[in-house]
Structure 1
Amino acid sequence: MDMREAMKKQNEVVMFLAKHVFASEATHSNIVFSPASIYSALTLVASGPGDPYQILSLLKSSSTDELNAVFTEILSVVYAGGSAANGGPEISSVNGVWIEQSLSIDPKFKDLFENFFKAAFGCVDFRSKAEEVRMEVNSWVQDRTNDLIKNLLPHGSVTEETEWVYANALYFKGTWKQPFEEDDTRDRKFHLLNGSLVSVPFMTSNEDQYVSAYDGFKVLRLPFLRGGNGDTNREFAMYFYLPDEKDDGLDNLVDKMASIPGFLDSHIPRREVKVGRLRIPKFGISLGFLVSKVFDRMGLCLTSSLYHKACIKIDESGVEAAAASVDESCGCYFGMEPPKRIDFVADHPFLFLIREDKTETVLFVGQIFDPSESSY
């Protein structure tokens, strides 16, 4: 198995899924979700009892062995040493599995979930205490996302017919390598698609930045502070993709990112350059949605329900973000060389993502159409 190629396929899935989420959930509105959390939850489902074909097809994997190999790679690099004590980003990804206590389970699955996936594993009473289990799962998610993801599973989502619940909770907090000065933050105008303007606080900097200009768009890479004590295996950064066109530029850019293989890795600023103007709006957004409905529109009919919620907040010091994905099943499984100085003024709709560069793992992806509409 070529691990690098397997990881690259996941990036193609990320943008393909992003295009469908952007189009189906809330067209031309602020959106954030975590491909990494969704991937982890689906890997749990595919590795359990049942036919994993639909999930393997969606994730472009040849087998559950390949899925698990990618999971191992991400676990050993991206989530390893995730404490902020050494100065680097704080990051954690934890899994949980709940099974109806009256069902018999092959010991190999219990061993796989507990020892390979390091998942919290519990036998529970869905038949008579479904509501209590729902609240337990929600509490588990909230505790493991620093209280950012609350009430993920809505009332009635877990019933007496539920047999399995698979969950992933992801938390990230990183400090910019070059923090912005709060005194330099000013309210400025942001262009909306309807032609109107809103006033939002923009962060600004005169420092050299990782910026590249391409045909029709620019990319800004803001790296996070790396940890000490030999923590050199991880490189986290946030990317901003700014189309030149203020109207339909972002839609066209998303189409390219979703349809051209290797797009992300072929459009990465590789060195710092002089920046003319750099302005990034502060924003905080959250979104919860039923991922399985998005899959349905994509022609992938998973009979389980996959709930997802993510939130993100960026300011002068850095980023805090969290996400959770919970699958509830009732037994049916389912470069151009940049100029010497570049302006990067994100005063119209743009796309962003956070990823770990060495493994190319995308943790969060989203779009901003109106940063004044904070829902964090």
Structure 2
Amino acid sequence: MKRTTFLLVFGVVLGLTQAQLETGAEETGGEEEHVELFTTPTTKMGAATSDFGYNLFRALASRDSTANIFLSPISVSAVLTQLSMGGSERAQRQLFRALRYHTLQDPQLHNTLRDLLASVRTAGKGLSTAARIYLSRRLRLKQDFFTLVEQQYGVRPKPLQGGTKDLKEINDWVSQETGGKVLRLLTKALPRSPGVNTVSATYFKGKWATRFGQSGMTENFQIDGGAPVRVPMMQQDNYPVKMGIDSDLSCTIAQIQMQDDVSMFVFLPDDVTSNMTLLEETLTAEFVQDLSMTLLPAQVSLTLPVLRLSYSTDLLPLLSDIGLSEWLSDTDLEKISAQPAKLTSVHHKVVMETAPEGNQYPGVTTSPSNLSYRVDRPFLYLIRDEASGALLFIGRVLNPKALTM
């Protein structure tokens, strides 16, 4: 396990690298002690869904290295787990490996995931999700599958009618499940081929634990290889965060607390760059959990872009990049239909908003913070449920001006 040590001094943030720690271990002949970070079925499930999410995010990021990208892994995990219930033993084993469930050894896996989904969707966390399977009527469908999924996850797979009726019904259902926040998940009708389609959607608008005093002022955001753009920012002096530098990754990391045990991790590269491959490849559930325990408290002058975004994509082409090439060629969904049933789309849409509101004011001091954390260049961030460790949302922001709502 890689453990990063952070040292914080007022006015200066220093990072002690893993290489230094390893050198010391070699000199003494000792080995780094392994610490079990995930000890309950829920936290192990949170780690599995997170690692699936980081793998999927890397696949998405590598397809387009010059664009803003966003993903809510928890809702994709939910819908693909529903789909796994329709597969043969072999198909389920392949899906479970991609979903990182093969590490869990949890005989109550579906119950654990159902409980995790319920816990992260409690009202205070600001998260709402929708996840459902849609099936072509041209398949001879087995009703036992419909009942099984509905009993376990509270949502019944839906046979398609065909054409614009499906388009309206799916969009209306997603809108209803997300409180009217995720609109028009589909812009065109699903294929008429005898296949299986999944839809997943997430809306997130969490509130900060500490509110921002200033919001909406327009400031420069640096762009890699381009002129700065003017974007709305939030700013507050003496803002409480946890903070540190990772010199291996050449970035400063801040953990900002949100309400109801949710937090945002912001990874800010030292230089203006759109190349975040090294950082993206480092992200794992274990690494982020380690960060949450080693970042140190600080009061900073914090400046963040105001994020209002909507992002949608079909994730189907990415599944082969996360180890599902063989499964895609033969999905073997024998519990759904006796006929061969291909997966034809994996539609995913996310909507997110940040606002300056919080439930407490920053502490009153006689002078402003000596430390500054100014997010005014490309960055990567993630939203994490602290109780379970589950990754709720992850995004790469290269140009906030290009975000659409």
In the alignment, is residue 210 of structure 1 matched against residue 241 of structure 2? yes
Mark the CA change 1:2 to 1:105 in structure 2 (over 3 Å): closer, same or farther: farther
- What are the superposed Cα offsets for residues 139-174 of structure 1, whole Å, 9 maximum, x if unpaired? 211222233333323424231x33544444433332
- What are the superposed Cα offsets for residues 82-141 of structure 1, whole Å, 9 maximum, x if unpaired? 23xxxx23433344344456766555423322221000444554xxx3442233112211
Mark the CA change 1:116 to 1:69 in structure 2 (over 3 Å): closer, same or farther: closer
- What are the superposed Cα offsets for residues 188-219 of structure 1, whole Å, 9 maximum, x if unpaired? 22111105211222211113322311222222
In the alignment, is residue 89 of structure 1 matched against residue 125 of structure 2? yes
The 8 Å contact of residues 55 and 322 in structure 2, kept in 1 or not, is answered as no
2:306 corresponds to which of 282, 292, 305 = 282
In the alignment, is residue 144 of structure 1 matched against residue 182 of structure 2? no
Measured in 1, the distance between the counterparts of 2:45 and 2:83 equals 19
Match of 1:21 in 2: 60
In the alignment, is residue 221 of structure 1 matched against residue 255 of structure 2? yes
Q: Where do residues 315-354 of structure 1 align in structure 2 (5 Å cutoff)?
A: 315-317=355-357, 342-354=371-383
The 8 Å contact of residues 207 and 355 in structure 2, kept in 1 or not, is answered as no
Unmatched segments (≥5 aa) in structure 1: 227-234, 319-339
Measured in 2, the distance between the counterparts of 1:66 and 1:162 equals 32
Measured in 2, the distance between the counterparts of 1:263 and 1:15 equals 11
Match of 1:331 in 2: none
Match of 2:117 in 1: 75
Mark the CA change 1:2 to 1:187 in structure 2 (over 3 Å): closer, same or farther: closer
- What are the superposed Cα offsets for residues 297-328 of structure 1, whole Å, 9 maximum, x if unpaired? 4452334121112122223227xxxxxxxxxx
Mark the CA change 1:300 to 1:372 in structure 2 (over 3 Å): closer, same or farther: same
* Bigger Cα displacement from structure 2, 355-364 vs 112-121: 112-121
Percent identity reads: 21
Measured in 1, the distance between the counterparts of 2:377 and 2:304 equals 10
C-alpha RMSD over aligned residues: 2.9
Q: Give the total of aligned pairs.
A: 332
Q: Where do residues 193-204 of structure 1 align in structure 2 (5 Å cutoff)?
A: 193-204=224-235
* Bigger Cα displacement from structure 2, 281-290 vs 351-360: 281-290
The 8 Å contact of residues 90 and 173 in structure 1, kept in 2 or not, is answered as yes
Measured in 1, the distance between the counterparts of 2:171 and 2:371 equals 45
The 8 Å contact of residues 205 and 353 in structure 2, kept in 1 or not, is answered as no
Measured in 1, the distance between the counterparts of 2:111 and 2:348 equals 24
Measured in 1, the distance between the counterparts of 2:199 and 2:67 equals 27
Measured in 1, the distance between the counterparts of 2:322 and 2:172 equals 31
Match of 1:329 in 2: none
How big is the shift at 1:359? 0.5
Q: Where do residues 294-333 of structure 1 align in structure 2 (5 Å cutoff)?
A: 294-298=318-322, 300-301=324-325, 302=328, 303-304=342-343, 305-317=345-357
How big is the shift at 1:45? 0.7
SS in 1 for 2:303: strand
In the alignment, is residue 244 of structure 1 matched against residue 270 of structure 2? yes
The 8 Å contact of residues 379 and 397 in structure 2, kept in 1 or not, is answered as yes
Q: Where do residues 156-167 of structure 1 align in structure 2 (5 Å cutoff)?
A: 156-159=189-192, 161-167=193-199
The higher radius of gyration belongs to 2
State the AA in 2 paired with 1:48: G
In the alignment, is residue 192 of structure 1 matched against residue 223 of structure 2? yes
The 8 Å contact of residues 95 and 117 in structure 1, kept in 2 or not, is answered as no
Measured in 2, the distance between the counterparts of 1:361 and 1:130 equals 36
SS in 2 for 1:20: helix
State the AA in 2 paired with 1:292: L
Measured in 2, the distance between the counterparts of 1:309 and 1:108 equals 29
Match of 2:98 in 1: 58
How big is the shift at 1:16? 2.0
* Bigger Cα displacement from structure 2, 57-66 vs 167-176: 57-66
Measured in 2, the distance between the counterparts of 1:11 and 1:95 equals 17
Measured in 2, the distance between the counterparts of 1:113 and 1:297 equals 27
State the AA in 1 paired with 2:76: I
In the alignment, is residue 33 of structure 1 matched against residue 71 of structure 2? yes
Match of 1:373 in 2: 402
Mark the CA change 1:300 to 1:202 in structure 2 (over 3 Å): closer, same or farther: same
SS in 2 for 1:220: strand
Measured in 1, the distance between the counterparts of 2:155 and 2:70 equals 25
Measured in 1, the distance between the counterparts of 2:258 and 2:77 equals 23
Match of 2:289 in 1: 265
Measured in 1, the distance between the counterparts of 2:258 and 2:198 equals 31
Q: Scaled by the length of structure 2, what TM-score is found?
A: 0.73
State the AA in 2 paired with 1:12: D
- What are the superposed Cα offsets for residues 212-239 of structure 1, whole Å, 9 maximum, x if unpaired? 112222222222223xxxxxxxx11222
Mark the CA change 1:107 to 1:263 in structure 2 (over 3 Å): closer, same or farther: same
State the AA in 1 paired with 2:268: L
1:111 corresponds to which of 123, 132, 147 = 147
Q: Scaled by the length of structure 1, what TM-score is found?
A: 0.78
Measured in 2, the distance between the counterparts of 1:236 and 1:375 equals 24
